Structure 1
Amino acid sequence: MAIPALPEQSRTSRYPNSLAGFNAASPDDARHTLLACLHSLHWSRRLTDHRPYPDVDSLLAASDEAAYDLTPGDLAEALAGESLPVLPDDTYEAAHMALDAAHAAYEARFGHVFVICPDGIAPDEVLDHVLAGIRSRLTNDPEEERVVVAEELRRLARGRLGKAFRGAGL
């Protein structure tokens, strides 16, 4: 009696990491992938519902457009899923304290976490970039800051999508 062959197992993730996989994924899996890039149900549903995308640039353009349309509630939801940028392991304790104090002042003023897109910033300059960003943005009024936050979230989502679909041509 022959032993039946086991079904071939897939080594691919349930969550797509290529544009073709994203386009073919179930709506739940596609949204899961997108929520890792920006924690907004409205944004993730909009991108999922407009599939398939012919290329990564089309997906990024759709992401930008959907991010521009986030309501204040959508922004609050996305901000709730964010955290401060991670500092390198060898960052001095004083730098952590300075960042914590600046973030506390920012959060007290605006009521949410500070977000900034560090794409294109050298790793050893991220701390200075974040601290300078917090200090300069503390002078914004709440409406100005809402516009800046929306842009930073858009840029973060775009960068994260790029990383998620790196094998798709980005």
Structure 2
Amino acid sequence: MKTYIALLRGINVSGQKKIKMANLKLMLMKIGLTDVVTYIQSGNMVFKSAGKKSHILEEKIKKGVADSFGFDVTVVVKTKMGLEEILQKNPFTKQEDLEAKRVYYALLKEVPEKDAIGNLKPEDYPSELFLITKECVYLNCLNGAGKAKLTNNVLERKLGVSATTRNHRTMAKLLELAEEN
């Protein structure tokens, strides 16, 4: 059994796509995932599965959400090791930024095309620092996420890929839960 982390995009945000975590947990167990743990109300789960690849699990969870709750969501699944690598590669590690909740991770479902990466120019986002990799956009929102112009929707549009964004605290907690699982 391998430990995975799944992140759903856009559930329980502003009253949209509401899912109770207890119901989500039951659905995940119903589709064959084990040792399911959810974290906060925004679609973060840690679970175990035997012999599955991340993209297969993404589709299985996506279908389970559609069948059980009636809406389509983007699902990003990472292995425990994959999540650990993403956190280790974070270039924004100043304690003051982490404590001020300025550091975010936009996890990419697909690898963006090189041409698309050129659509994001640092001078267009002077209050945000960012680094784009094949699986994550690391963000440091200098004025806080609420004032950031480089939002998840902008990233998706400019890069031409699906993404879901989490803050550093959530990512660290998910890794902690994965290590305990």
Name the one with the larger strand percent.
Answer: 2
Q: Of the two, which has the highest radius of gyration?
A: 1
Q: TM-score, normalised by structure 1?
A: 0.28
Name the one with the larger helix percent.
Answer: 1
Q: TM-score, normalised by structure 2?
A: 0.27
Which fold has the larger relative contact order, with Cα–Cα distance below 8 Å and residues 6 or more apart in sequence?
Answer: 1
